[in-house]
Amino acid sequence: MARPVSIYWFRQDLRLADNPALTAAARDGAVIPVYILDDDHAGDHRMGGASRWWLHHALHALNDALDGKLVVLQGDPATHLAALAVASGASSVHWNRCYEPWRIARDTAIKADLTARGLVVDSHNGSLLWEPWDVTKADGTPYRVFTPYFRRGCLSAPPPRQPIPVPSPLVLVATDYQAAGIDGLRLLPDTGWDEMLAPHWQIGEAGATARLAAFIDQDLLGYKDGRNFPAGPNVSRLSPHLHWGEVSPNTVWHAAKDRMDAGMVNHEDGDHFLSELGWREFSHALLYYFPDLPRQNLQPRFDAFAWKDDTDALRCWQHGQTGYPIVDAAMRQLWQTGYMHNRLRMIVGSFLVKNLRLHWHHGEAWFWDCLVDADLANNSASWQWIAGCGADAAPYFRIFNPITQASKFDPNGDFIRHYVPELAGLTNDHLFSPWEAPRHVLDAANVVLGQTYPHPLVDVKASRLDALAAFAALKDTA
C-alpha cells in the first residue's frame, strides 16, 4: 500500500530539529519539502539585499540536509501548493506560522482554498515561545510595556515547550513538479557583498547549532554586563539564525535554562539573556496586535514631529562618514558583516533620529536592506523604541552621546580601530573625538580632518538642544 504524501512548506523555519510542522507532516506520511519565494505578496516588505544573500546560502544548506530533495519555487504560494498537491497526490499540507500582517492575510486565504480542495491543512507554532494571543493583560488587551509583558505575562504562562528531535522516520519524496531551483531565484547581490559577508557567518542549521553551543559554553557567563561592549565576546550572534529559523527559540531557551539549573551559569547572566529572548517575543506581539507598526507611530502625537529632510546627512550616516568614530565604526560593521551589536544599534539610532533629526523610517529602511537578521517585528519595534514613539519607548529626550558612549563601551578603542582604521594611530585621549586633537597629534597619526576622516556632521551639544526644542514644541501642540 502506497504511503500517504504530505507537503511541508518551509518559510522562516529552515531546520529539521524542533520543527513542529515538519514533525506533523512526517507523521502523516512521506514528505515533499518545498520553499516558495513570494516577493509579490510581500510588497514594501520584500526582503532586502543582506536577507536575500543569507537566504541563498541557507537554502543550499537546507537542501543538503534534505538529500537534495528540497523543491524551490518562486511566485504565488496558493497556486504552487494547489498544483503541487494535484501533481503529487498529497493529502495534507503543513507549515509553521509567521506573524507579519501580509503573511497572516495570505496564509489565511491559502488555508481556506486548500481546505476547500479537500486537503487537510494545519499550521503550527515553530517560531515563538508564546503565541501573541496567549500573553495578554487580564482584560484581554495587549501589553504595551515590556516588563509586565515578560514578567507578569510570559513567565506566568505555561513555560516554553521542550524541543523535539528530527522526525524519525523522515521519508522524503522527489517530485517532477517544475521548480526554479535555488540559483534560479537569483538571490545573490551583483556586488562584492557575498565575499565580504561570508567570512563572518556559518549559515544553516549546523552553523546555528555550533553558534549556540559556543555561546552557551563560553560567552553566556558574564553576559549581563559584557553584552554592552562591542569588542567583547559576550553576545550570542544568534539573531539571524533565529530569524531564519535555523534554530528554534525553544532550543535556545532551554539550552540557557539547563545551564542555569545546573549551576554552570549564574542566574543574573542567564535571566538577562532569557529576557532578551523575551524582547523578541514582545516585538512579535506588538506587530501582531498593531499591524501598522512598520509605518505608523504607536504614539500618534509623533505624527506632528518636525523631522528634517537632509539627504546628504543621511548618506553620511549610512556610509559611516559622520565624523563620530563610534557611529561610523558601527555603520561600517553593518555594511561589512550584515550585523550590528545591540548597544551600537541604540547609539546610531539615537544619532539619526535625534542629533540629525531624520525620520526613523530612514533608519528602518537601511537596516532592512543591510541586516542579515532583518526582521519586520524586531526592526520596526526597535526603531520606534529609539525614536521615542513606540511601545515602552526610550523617551525622546534620552539622547545617547556618541563620545561618552564610545569611551564607556569601547574604552580601549579596539572596536573603533578595527572598523575605522584611518584613526588607528590616535591615542584613546583623542580617538573618540578626533576634532579636539591638537594639530601635531593628528599629524603624528596621519589624520587630516576633512580628507582622511570627516569633520563632525553636527555638533552633539547643539543638535541635542535642537532635538529637545523640537520635542518641546511637539508637547506644546499635543
Residue 383 bears catalytic tag:
yes
**Catalytic residue from among 125, 342, 422, 428:** 342
Tell me the three cell numbers of residue 156: 506566568
Residue 279 bears catalytic tag:
yes
**Catalytic residue from among 360, 366, 368, 385:** 360
Distance (Å, whole) CA 200 – CA 202: 7
For cell 551589536, name the residue.
341
Q: E strand or H helix at 30, and its extent? A: strand 30-37
Residue 253 bears catalytic tag:
no
Distance (Å, whole) CA 178 – CA 315: 43
CB 240 within 8 A of CB 201: yes
The dihedral built from the CA positions of residue 437, 441, 445 and 450, taken in this order, carries a sign that is positive
Residue 276 bears catalytic tag:
yes
Kindly provide the residue ranges of all beta strands, DSSP E only, lying in 186-323, ordered along the sequence: none
Q: E strand or H helix at 231, and its extent? A: none
**Catalytic residue from among 276, 422, 428, 435:** 276
For cell 501598522, name the residue.
292
Tell me the three cell numbers of residue 189: 547581490
**Catalytic residue from among 54, 95, 279, 368:** 279
Cβ within 8 Å of residue 447, ≥6 positions away: 422, 423, 425, 426, 434, 437, 453
Q: What is the DSSP letter of 38?
A: -
Residue 95 bears catalytic tag:
no
Distance (Å, whole) CA 346 – CA 89: 51
Instruction: Give the pairing type, strands 92-96 and 120-124.
Output: parallel
Tell me the three cell numbers of residue 137: 493583560
Residue 53 bears catalytic tag:
no
How far does CA 278 lie from the centroid of its chain?
Answer: 14
**Catalytic residue from among 9, 253, 366, 383:** 383
**Catalytic residue from among 102, 125, 131, 307:** 307
Report the catalytic residues.
276, 279, 307, 342, 360, 383
